[in-house]
Amino acid sequence: MSGTSMDGVDVALIETDGERVTSFGPCLTVPYPDEVRRLIRGAFGAEQPNDATRQAERAVTDAHAEAVRRWSAEHAVALSTLDLVGFHGQTITHRPEKRFTWQIGDGAALAKALGVRVVNDLRGADVAAGGQGAPLVPIYHAALVRDLARPIAVVNIGGVANVTWIGADGALLAFDTGPGNGPIDDWCARRAGQRFDAAGALAAIGKVDRTRLERFGEHRYFARKPPKSLDRGDFNDGWAEGLSAADGAATLTRGTARAIAFAARHFPAPVTQWVISGGGARNPTLLRCIAEETGGKIVTAAELGWDGDALEAQAFAFLAVRSLRGLPYSFPTTTGCPSPSSGGRLHQPSPSKSGI
């Protein structure tokens, strides 16, 4: 899995039948080289292949292959023992209103490189059917919280933040809440010369511009009823322009937290707790802001014994198995698709055996 933060490739192993997870294996995060990150940025927003997208796709595919090989070597797990690889790819454009989403990454090439079956293109069928194509992880969240008190909310904070509400009866509601780490990362890169706000240190010494925050909260996206989803570029750091580096970081961080809190307006029932995963779970300043904005109990995925860094990689392994079995993984209450549906494309290690 590589998310909208473009920080690198997360590799994780699970054993599952696509309904229950019977065991968790080792995981590894391999950062993207700066050159790969530059190529991905150069492909953002494209809606048809060009030299930039082709270069980026080769780089992304090679980076994923290398990450899996490193994971295999470091954890002494032979690739020949793997049944299936779920390959999310790297999102460069997400425009479901145009029935278009694009995750670059060559599934056939990855299958050949690893010698393992690969399922990719896990969003395309949902978007083509009129769904948002995101979020797809809710059905995995539901598998993880079987033994926890519900209703419960699971929030993943990557470049964009999304939430899964899971009811006492297992009912699902999911949608993108708004900006995640993306605008904060971009601000830090532009104004502080750092890729991200490590441990929320910059935001912690800044002062929130309350006037700007109130205007941010009036964005029409927050009032839209789910299902709904975002492209990484739909929210940016422009609304903090003119502030100091620290004040801008503080204001953007509070904005991400407020957007998450606004999500509760759409929940069918209040939640017992908010579980925070993804890169945002490592930012104590952001966690404090979420607690203040929601007024609820906040726990990190790690506190529940989950590996928050590996959660989405695990989820796409889970979805790949559901795809292989023809089980639905997108639903009217998560992506807005007309009916529960599956998707994905299966690639065999031998090109002659590739299929859907």
Q: Are residues 349 and 220 in the same domain?
A: no
Percent of the chain with pLDDT over 90: 90
In total, how many domains does the chain have? 2
The confidence score (pLDDT) of residue 192 equals 95
Q: Are residues 174 and 206 in the same domain?
A: yes
325 pLDDT higher than 80: yes
The confidence score (pLDDT) of residue 356 equals 39
Mean pLDDT of 314-319: 97
Residue 312 in domain:
no
Helix, coil or strand: residue 242 = coil
Q: Are residues 117 and 195 in the same domain?
A: no
46 pLDDT higher than 90: yes
The confidence score (pLDDT) of residue 351 equals 56
214 pLDDT higher than 50: yes
The confidence score (pLDDT) of residue 229 equals 84
Q: CB within 8 A of 312, min separation 6: which ones?
A: 1, 3, 10, 88, 137, 156, 158, 278
Asked if the bond preceding 227 is cis, omega within 30° of 0, the reply is yes
Instruction: Report the C-alpha gap between 187 and 209 in whole angstroms.
Output: 15
The confidence score (pLDDT) of residue 353 equals 45
For residue 99 the two structure tokens come to 């029935």
Instruction: Report the C-alpha gap between 304 and 275 in whole angstroms.
Output: 9
Using 50, 70 and 90 to split pLDDT, how confident is the model at 350? confident
The confidence score (pLDDT) of residue 354 equals 42
User: What is the CATH classification number for the domain harbouring 153?
Assistant: 3.30.420.40
Mean pLDDT of 228-237: 89
355 pLDDT higher than 60: no
Average pLDDT value for the chain: 95
Residue 148 in domain:
yes
Q: Are residues 88 and 144 in the same domain?
A: no
Residue 2 in domain:
no
Q: Are residues 44 and 142 in the same domain?
A: no
Instruction: Report the C-alpha gap between 125 and 130 in whole angstroms.
Output: 9
Q: Are residues 76 and 209 in the same domain?
A: no
Q: What is the pTM of this model?
A: 0.85
Residue 231 in domain:
yes
Residue 311 in domain:
no
Mean pLDDT of 90-96: 93
Q: What is the pLDDT of residues 157-195, one digit of tens each?
A: 989 999 999 999 999 999 999 999 999 999 999 999 999
One-letter-per-residue 3-state SS of 170-202: CCEEEEEEEECCHHHHHHHHHHCCCCCCHHHHH
Name the pairing type of β-strands 118-120 and 345-347: antiparallel
Long-range contacts of 40-45 (CB under 8 A, 24+ apart): 40/6, 40/90, 40/92, 40/104, 41/6, 43/92, 43/104, 44/92, 44/93, 44/232, 44/233, 45/92, 45/93, 45/233
Residue 332 in domain:
no
The confidence score (pLDDT) of residue 118 equals 98
The confidence score (pLDDT) of residue 218 equals 97
Mean pLDDT of 237-258: 98
Q: Are residues 49 and 96 in the same domain?
A: yes
Q: Are residues 152 and 212 in the same domain?
A: yes
Percent of the chain with pLDDT over 70: 98
How many CB atoms neighbour CB 339 within 10 A? 10
118, 107 in Cβ contact below 8 A? yes
Mean pLDDT of 333-344: 95
Residue 313 in domain:
no
Mean pLDDT of 287-311: 94
Instruction: Report the C-alpha gap between 42 and 53 in whole angstroms.
Output: 8
Q: Are residues 125 and 147 in the same domain?
A: no
Helix, strand, coil shares of the chain, percent, nearest 5, are: 45, 20, 35
Strand partners, 175: 163
Instruction: Report the C-alpha gap between 351 and 356 in whole angstroms.
Output: 12
The confidence score (pLDDT) of residue 232 equals 83
146 pLDDT higher than 90: no
Strand partners, 11: 28
Q: Are residues 120 and 146 in the same domain?
A: no
Identify which has the larger pLDDT, 279 or 212: 212
Q: What is the pLDDT of residues 24-44, one digit of tens each?
A: 999 999 999 999 999 999 999
The confidence score (pLDDT) of residue 308 equals 79
Mean pLDDT of 225-250: 93
Smallest CA-to-CA distance from 324 within 49, 78, 84, 77 is with 84
The residue segments making up the domain with residue 219 are: 138-304
Using 50, 70 and 90 to split pLDDT, how confident is the model at 207? very high
For 4-8, 246-250, 321-325, 333-337, which range has the lowest pLDDT when averaged over its residues?
A: 4-8
Q: Are residues 118 and 171 in the same domain?
A: no
Residue 33 in domain:
yes
Q: Are residues 159 and 259 in the same domain?
A: yes
